[in-house]
Chains A and B, each alone.
Chain A
């Protein structure tokens, strides 16, 4: 079974620019998560989808971050405009249902200059 796919793997932008990340979860997984992992820290949940609905976005900085899950499958996370402190690895994960083991993608390393 194919794992969680993410693209791009690396992205370098200047502050105030926009950027978007893409995630394709494991087939059949209803729950999709986006995490932000700042260097030296553990991942922090940004947003959680159940099918194509948002169930938890309490830690998403909504003034600049947005996310959607198209038709309950692929998801896109956008940052607009980016700040220096957004430099981090953005991890996407999926699980068959809420609460089950989460499978992670390889992540996107974002550098904001």
Chain B
């Protein structure tokens, strides 16, 4: 149980393109989902916390207009990287939590490469 699906797993696109990444909890409802970014050989950095039906909470230094997060249902959160540039190339990972005191369950991640 507690499976999180992330799609797509790999994206290559041109600079200036907007890219949407989906994160779905397949067998549970998630009131809270998290979006992380992982640079090569570095740890996961929390970008934002997404709560169903409300605005996401962004970590310091993360541009909310650049990384649009939508959590429209209890099983789906999306991250849209707007007007992506090569410096946005990274590994993006989402996680979902079934409840406030429950641990996070992670997706497989999305490798984003901007040419």
Tell me whether A and B are bound partners: no
